[in-house]
Amino acid sequence: MNERWTYTVIADEPGGTPIELRVSLEDRDADRRATIQVTVSGAQVDVDDKPRDYEAPEWKAKEILGAGGVEQTDVYLNALKDHLRAALSSS
């Protein structure tokens, strides 16, 4: 799988405080995508069409989650990634 990860920050207002993250995995070889959306505190929410504020690098997504109260952001984000990989492999 040729993976491309996208971390989309959703803020309370443009340029405002991050409230959610959309994490997407794109399999470029198979032209498929899986997405999960979480609050900055780590709770999963429904994927919606809220406007994005910006795309962030992975380190910034970890920083936002850590500021939101997620402990062990590496472990948490790796679990999200495993979830999305499993979703793509089962489709």
pLDDT of res. 91: 73
CA distances from 71 to 16, 26, 82 (A): 23, 26, 18
Q: 57 or 51: which carries more pLDDT confidence?
A: 57
- Per the structure block, which two tokens stand in for 62? 């970890």
- Per the structure block, which two tokens stand in for 38? 């979480």
- pLDDT for residue 30 is more than 90: no
Q: How many CA atoms lie within 13 A of 9 on its CB side?
A: 22
| Mean predicted confidence (pLDDT) in 12-38 | 93
What is the rounded CA–CA span in Å between residue 58 and residue 31?
A: 22
Nearby residues of 59 by Cβ (< 8 Å), 6 or more positions away = none
The pairing of beta strand 3-11 with beta strand 54-56? antiparallel
